[in-house]
Amino acid sequence: MSAIGRKSWNWSLWIGFVFVLAGFLTYTFFAQFPITRDFPWANLLLFAVGGILLVMGLFRAFGRPQIYRGKIFGPILAALGITMFGLFSYVFFYELRQVPPSTGAPRVGQKAPDFFLLDQNGKPVGLGDLLSNSRGAVLIFYRGFW
Amino acid sequence: MRSFQYRLSEFDARGVRVVGISVDPPEVNRRQSQKLGYTFPLLSDPDARVIRRYDVLHRGMGPKGSDIARPAEFLLDPNGIVRWVNLTENIAVRARPEQVFEAFEQIGEPDSH
């Protein structure tokens, strides 16, 4: 048997890539829990584990090429991994923070502007209705589902 | 808003009303309420008139570049005075019910004197 046929599967490259892919794709799942939504701890951890495994895999592929495979796949998976991490960081740390300053929003101590809007059943609801017979109201402005 | 629905009974117990406001039309709000099990009102501001008055407009971020609301939460007292505001710096980060409860405790009893 030739030495080439006996080369070991470079598992750390592939498992590392799966971790990075998981880090890239699972934010919508972790966004259900405030602790992993406000700061993407879980995703960054997945990226970190994946990154370490990918680097290990590359060291094996290039450091001991007589034992491990991965000289071609290694750099491809690593490049894909870096791209996914870059995209994730761009979206989370830049794009999601592009929120208007809302400097003219009513401040603490100011009177909230009155309104009269239709609810989900087409029934008109005014701010006055919300405040009468109540001890306060929370207005939650949200982006919408469209 | 899901967390507000989970803890809606605690808002009810305090006598605090919860409403959502977006550019979605009532049909979409009805469908979403049913789908997500929301029992508090979702109010429709299709031309973003109220959203603009609260200066929480996010220009061009909606479908086909339309204007929508940015996430923002206001706690009002029964006189309509703002007692607490949350203007997030990250679209993914929203107010949590416990922040509102805490702010509400700070207001104190309106007729305790």
Nearest CA in chain A to B53: A113
The predicted structure's pLDDT at residue B19: 98
The predicted structure's pLDDT at residue A5: 59
Residue A6 reports pLDDT greater than 80: no
Residue B112 reports pLDDT greater than 50: no
What region, left, alpha or beta, does residue B108 occupy, with left being phi > 0 and alpha being psi -120 to 50 degrees?
Answer: left
**Of B1, B74, B33, which is closest to residue A113 (Cα–Cα)?**
B74
- In chain A, how many domains are there? 1
- Domain hosting residue A9, numbered range: 4-97
Nearest CA in chain B to A146: B24
Beta bridge partners of A140: B20, B73
Report the mean per-residue pLDDT for chain B: 93
- Contact flag B54-A144 (C-beta cutoff 8 Å): no
User: What three-state secondary structure class fits B23?
Assistant: coil
**Of A80, A24, A26, which is closest to residue A47 (Cα–Cα)?**
A24
The domain ranges of chain B are: 2-107
- Contact flag B69-A146 (C-beta cutoff 8 Å): no
Residue A51 falls inside a structural domain: yes
Lowest mean pLDDT among A5-9, A135-139, B73-77: A5-9
Residue A54, classified by CB atoms within 10 Å of its CB into exposed (0-12), middle (13-18) or buried (19+), is buried
Q: Which residue has the tokens 């339309």?
A: B66
Residue window 39-78, chain A: list those with CB within 8 Å of chain B.
Answer: none
Report the mean per-residue pLDDT for chain A: 93
Residue A140 falls inside a structural domain: no
What is the arithmetic mean of pLDDT over A115-129?
A: 97
What is the arithmetic mean of pLDDT over B81-93?
A: 94
Residue A10 falls inside a structural domain: yes
Distance CA(B40)–CA(B17), nearest Å, equals: 8
Q: Which of B19, B68, B77 sits opposite A139 (nearest CB)?
A: B19
Quick check: A121 and B31 in contact, CB under 8 A?
no
Beta bridge partners of A117: A125
Exposure string of A7-46, with b = 16+ CB inside 10 Å and e = fewer, is beebebbbbbbebbbbbbeebeebbeeeebbeebebbbeb
Nearest CA in chain A to B81: A111
Residue range B2-107 forms a domain whose CATH class is: alpha beta
The predicted structure's pLDDT at residue A1: 43
Percent of chain A with pLDDT over 90: 86
* Interface residue of A140, A143, A145 to substitute, partner B, most B CBs within 10 Å: A140
Residue B109 reports pLDDT greater than 90: no
Q: pLDDT tens across A80-104, in order? A: 999 999 999 999 999 999 999 999 9
ipTM above 0.90, yes or no: yes
The predicted structure's pLDDT at residue A80: 97
The predicted structure's pLDDT at residue B113: 45
The predicted structure's pLDDT at residue A51: 98
Q: Which of B21, B56, B79 sits opposite A102 (nearest CB)?
A: B56
Quick check: B66 and B23 in contact, CB under 8 A?
yes
